[in-house]
Amino acid sequence: MKIDAIKNGIVLDHIKAGTGMILYQFLKLDDLDCPVALIKNASSKKLGKKDIIKIDSSEYNLDLDVIGFIDPEITVDIIKNGVLCEKRHLELPEKLTNILTCKNPRCITSVEQELPHIFHLTDRENKIYRCAYCEAKAKS
């Protein structure tokens, strides 16, 4: 299968196989007008199988926090004029805003819809995020 190389845009590489579609939805890529490719189960020396996403647009403002939250092992390649000009390595973000929603019915966010849903990373090792308001553990 051949997918054209992109000239100006972003390649999300080393996505754990099966996570590509989740990331696609979290990043709201179906809202974009530019060409977007989601490649599933590509062969990978490092992972065996991996997913890849290519976004053929230099305008797209990538939310690195979302990607870091879903899988900090993903690499972000920035392509300019057909050349890889930057490779970004991610880590779990300290703070997530409006990526997760608090499910605690006793949380203030359950009744005040306009409040941003903010979560803080409280345990990096076990990837635990807690609501900034009620400290309930995030259920992703």
Partner 1 sequence: MKNLIDILDLSTEEIDQLIQTANDIIENPEKYSEKCRGKKLATLFFEPSTRTRLSFEAAMYELGGNVLGFSEAQSSSAAKGESVADTAKTISCYADIIAMRHPKEGAPLVASQKATVPVINAGDGGHNHPTQTLTDLLTIQREMHRLGNFTIGFCGDLKFGRTVHSLIAALSRYENIKVVLISPEELKLPSYVKKDILLKKGIEYRQTTDLESVMPQLDVLYMTRVQRERFFSEEEYLRLKDSYILTPEKLKNAKKELAIMHPLPRVNEISVAIDDDPRACYFKQVLNGKYIRMALILKLLEVE
Per CB under 8 A, residues contacting partner 1 are: 104, 106-112, 114-115, 122, 131-137
Nearer to partner 1, 60 or 133 (CB): 133
Nearer to partner 1, 33 or 112 (CB): 112
DSSP 24-64: HHHTTGGG--S-EEEEEEEEETTTEEEEEEEE--SS----H
Q: How far is the CB of 139 from partner 1 (least distance, A)?
A: 14
> Would you say 25 and 36 are in contact if contact means Cβ atoms under 8 Å apart?
no
96 CB-contact burial (10 Å; exposed 0-12 / middle 13-18 / buried 19+): buried
Q: How far is the CB of 135 from partner 1 (least distance, A)?
A: 7
Q: How far is the CB of 65 from partner 1 (least distance, A)?
A: 21
Nearer to partner 1, 38 or 100 (CB): 100
